[in-house]
């Protein structure tokens, strides 16, 4: 299981307002260690697409990958991944990285206890202080650069509800980020109870930026089913 040929591919799925770019530091560490990685851009980030459109994008990417895949879903990305992986036959595990591991009939707004507005707008407003919310432990210059790359997020993606939840049949692991200012640790703990295994990182919402080596080592351990 230690050779590159027998390893699964890691498919990295970003959260709201972000893009595939956010994984660049992490993928550099993983690929240096021999891992195959892929990252996609969800159409709800920067566009008006809903969660189900994101799920179709994830499913389309999964269909391009030969062999087993471990999907790493960050934050909002956990929702379309749960939907898409239920229809894919090659997902060996889902890793929910401080992510919304929702069930059938749930939405991001619903889980947060927020009502769907009667006339929802096109986009969710950007966080007032994205550096504090997302990148509190990252080097300041990198946090500022990341904040500049954030894009508007489709409101529809936040109120679309799941019709399938792959974690009922696909093994799942939850990574709690204990210092998260975007999805508090207590909320993550509730979600993590739905996973088969739970790990913790002492850090912010974006360990792919603030702690890429630590996160890469943990993902390698999980992907190789070593704990």
Secondary structure of residue 192 in the 3-state scheme: helix
CA distance 82 to 77: 9
Q: Are strands 172-177 and 153-154 parallel, antiparallel or unpaired?
A: unpaired
- Give the model's pLDDT for residue 167: 98
pLDDT beyond 50 at 4:
no
Q: Tell me the pLDDT tens digit for each residue of 178-191.
A: 999 999 999 999 99
In the numeric block, the tokens 């210059």 are attached to 141
- Give the model's pLDDT for residue 5: 46
- Give the model's pLDDT for residue 3: 43
Secondary structure of residue 73 in the 3-state scheme: strand
What token pair was written down for 187? 């909320």
CA–CA distance from 35 to each of 2, 38, 183, 209 (Å)? Answer: 10, 10, 28, 18
- Give the model's pLDDT for residue 211: 98
Least reliable range by pLDDT among 11-25, 111-125, 184-198: 111-125
Q: Please state the φ and ψ torsions of residue 141, each to the nearest 5 degrees.
A: -65, -40
Conformation bin of residue 154: beta by default, left when phi > 0, alpha when psi is -120 to 50: beta
pLDDT beyond 70 at 16:
yes
Q: Tell me the pLDDT tens digit for each residue of 131-183.
A: 999 999 999 999 999 999 999 999 999 999 999 999 999 999 999 999 999 99
* Domains of the chain and any CATH numbers: 4-223 (3.40.50.1820)
Measured distance between the N- and C-terminal CA atoms of the chain, rounded to whole angstroms: 14
- Give the model's pLDDT for residue 62: 98
Task: Find out whether 117 and 211 touch, Cβ atoms under 8 Å.
Answer: no
In this prediction, residues 1-17 reach a mean pLDDT of 80
CA–CA distance from 186 to each of 23, 94, 165, 180, 206 (Å)? Answer: 25, 21, 22, 10, 17
């Amino acid at each position: 299981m230690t050779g590159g040929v027998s390893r699964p591919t890691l498919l990295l799925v970003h959260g709201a307002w972000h893009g595939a770019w956010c994984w660049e530091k992490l993928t550099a560490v993983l690929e240096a260690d021999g891992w195959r990685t892929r990252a996609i851009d969800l159409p709800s980030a920067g566009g008006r697409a809903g969660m189900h459109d994101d799920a179709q994008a994830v499913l389309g990417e999964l269909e391009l990958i030969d062999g087993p895949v471990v999907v790493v879903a960050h934050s909002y990305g956990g929702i379309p991944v749960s939907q898409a992986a239920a229809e894919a036959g090659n997902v060996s595990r889902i890793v929910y990285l401080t992510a919304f591991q929702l069930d059938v009939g749930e939405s991001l707004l619903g889980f947060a206890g927020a009502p769907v507005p009667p006339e929802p707008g096109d986009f969710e407003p950007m966080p007032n202080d994205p550096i504090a919310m997302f990148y509190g432990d990252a080097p300041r210059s990198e946090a500022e650069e990341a904040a500049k790359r954030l894009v508007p997020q489709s409101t529809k993606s936040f109120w679309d509800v799941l019709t399938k939840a792959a974690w009922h049949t696909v093994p799942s692991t939850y990574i709690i980020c204990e210092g998260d200012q975007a999805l508090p640790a207590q909320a993550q703990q509730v979600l993590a109870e739905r996973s088969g295994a739970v790990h913790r990182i002492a850090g912010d919402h974006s360990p792919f930026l603030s702690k890429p080596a630590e996160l890469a080592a943990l993902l390698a351990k999980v992907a190789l089913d070593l704990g």
